[in-house]
Amino acid sequence: MDTSSIQPLQPPRGMNDVLPSQVAAWQRLESIARELFATYGYREIRVPIVEHTALFKRSIGELTDIVQKEMFTFQDPGGDSLTLRPEATAGIVRAMISNGLLHNQKQRVWCAGPMFRYEKPQRGRFRQFHQIDVEAFGYAGPDIDAELIMLSARLLKRLGIERLELNLNSLGTLESRKVYREALVRYFSAHKSKLDADSLRRLEGNPLRILDSKNPEMQEVIAGAPVLTEYLDEPSRQHFNGLLRHLDAVGIKYVVNPRLVRGLDYYTHTVFEWLTNELGSQGAVCSGGRYDGLVAQLGGKSTPAIGWALGEERLIELIEVQHGAQPQEAPDVYFVISGTQAEAVGLTLAERLRDELPAVRIETHCGGGSFKSQMKRADQSGARFALVLGDSEAERQVVGLKSLRIEAPQVELAWADAAAELRKRLTEG
RNA sequence: GUGGGCGUAGCUCAGCUGGUAGAGCCCCGGAUUGUGAUUCCGGCCGUCGUGGGUUCGAAUCCCAUCGCUCACCCCA
């Protein structure tokens, strides 16, 4: 049924507007990230928001929750099945292969933008959400694992985020993981009577996730299950220990969590998550891992790779929880224009000032109104100064300059002198 | 997909056992005949989420439905 006629106009469920009052926090996050990535030698890549459905099925895994029930999939007018990207890695890997960027080359890239998953929205979980994503291709050793984690740690620190816990684990090679998975299925199948409904379902698709269960009645069976660490081969162990040594050396604290498995099939070796307990139930703020098999699996030349993604909405909310809201950007000058003669020349004067002061933020009052209401607006804008143009000033070709943040007498300036005086006062701090 | 809580003005909310909708904030104007505090006065603002039922009468009771939200699940 069409409910649009009886419901107020709303965005699609789980998709949010970022309002002018919130945008400062987004810009701060994105600009800090962009500057930091450049200092580590990572370059931006931009890829489509839509890809062929098969790309996500083959990379994320047919049996994962994301592919089975969370994708926005549709047919284009030509009959192709396309999907709104539920995560960034698949598209970036595809772009690497499509453009031949991995041919005897290493790549360090980052990407930011919206992702889409058809989930039931709740705190920290939306149908359209935004990630900042970092990937490195062609590096096999644990040094790049360490670099990527150091990069994430520095970014989180620079954003002012506190009290995060870094969880780490190694899944080993695809082969060792496969052997372990079979052992788990054997174990849990032998204890089927003790499994709850969720775990029985996972037994078919993703038995590793049974280890994650929060059901208290499950803890006993889980405690007796085989441990992944015991199935790691020697090279996997060495890789993981190498990573830990690098992290120890720079003093990054971590917790090795053998239960950390991640929900995407392509991960191998290192996986990690930065966790908070200050956002309700969606505690993962940044997470990622190595995916050495994915490039080859998608048809590229076999290339080791690793990456992580952080959730912008979650990070912004966490910053707000810990430090309060980001103040909005204020103009430098609020230009009060009152009276018919003033209105006739006000915009022209403002344009002249902008010619001479290209970096100064001048907000002109449009739409008339009393001096009182315009001054009130000037105050609320957060501007340091008000320029005051009434009919009497317009007649004499002068403009009033009033300091709004400190006690100081209002002065009158000839139009020709206004820009120079403003420049002087604004640089005085 | 499952469960809990909640839908009244742009925002935050009041409205008891049914009697026909209110406050504060915001915004505009005035007191202050051209200047951002406070105070005071006035003004603006409502399909009481939607549909149906009970009733002389429903924001209030009943049913359905939609939406929001939190948790499970999943994950950034």
pLDDT of residue A217: 76
Nearest nt (C1') from A15 Cα: B68
Q: Which nucleotide is nearest to A342 (CA to C1')?
A: B34
More confident residue, A367 or A137: A137
Question: Is the C-beta atom of A373 closer than 7 angstroms to strand B?
Answer: yes
What percentage of chain A exceeds 70 in pLDDT? 98
> Between A164 and A326, where is the model more confident?
A164
Q: Above 70 in pLDDT, residue A79? A: yes
Lowest mean pLDDT among A23-37, A157-171, A227-241, A344-358: A227-241
The reply to whether A133 has its C-beta less than 7 Å from any atom of strand B is no
Measuring from the CA of residue A339 to each C1', which nucleotide is nearest?
B34
Would the pLDDT of A184 be above 50? yes
pLDDT band at A117 (very low <50, low <70, confident <90, very high): very high
Query: Where is average pLDDT lowest: A12-16, A260-264, A286-290?
Result: A260-264
Mean pLDDT across chain A, nearest whole number?
90
- Region A235-260: mean pLDDT is 94
Q: Is the pLDDT of residue A408 over 90?
A: no
Neighbours of A197 (CB within 10 A): 8
* A282-341 tens-digit pLDDT: 889 999 999 999 999 999 999 999 999 999 999 999 998 898 877 778 899 999 999 889
Q: What pLDDT shows up at residue A261?
A: 81
CA distance A195 to A203: 9
Residue A50 contacts strand B, CB under 7 A: no
Give the residue, A225 or A423, on which the prediction is more confident.
A423
* Predicted model pTM: 0.90
Confidence of residue A140 (pLDDT cuts 50, 70, 90): very high
**What pLDDT is attached to residue A310?**
96
Residue A120 CB in 7 A reach of strand B: yes
Query: Is A278's CB less than 7 Å from nucleic acid strand B?
Result: no
Whether CB of A132 is under 7 Å from strand B: the answer is no
Residue A429 has a pLDDT of: 64
What pLDDT does A370 receive?
A: 83
**CB A29 under 7 Å to nucleic chain B:** no
Q: Considering only CA atoms, which of A272, A271, A267 is closest in space to residue A293? A: A267
**pLDDT of residue A138 exceeding 60:** yes
Q: Choose between A218 and A400: higher pLDDT.
A: A400
Residue scoring higher pLDDT (A208 or A163): A163
pLDDT at A4 > cutoff 60:
no
Residues A235-264, mean pLDDT to the nearest whole number: 92
Q: What is the pLDDT of residue A2?
A: 34
Both structure tokens of A36: 């930091």
Indicate if ipTM > 0.90. Answer: no
**pLDDT band at residue A8 under the 50/70/90 scheme:** low
Give the nucleotide at minimum CA-to-C1' distance from A8. B49
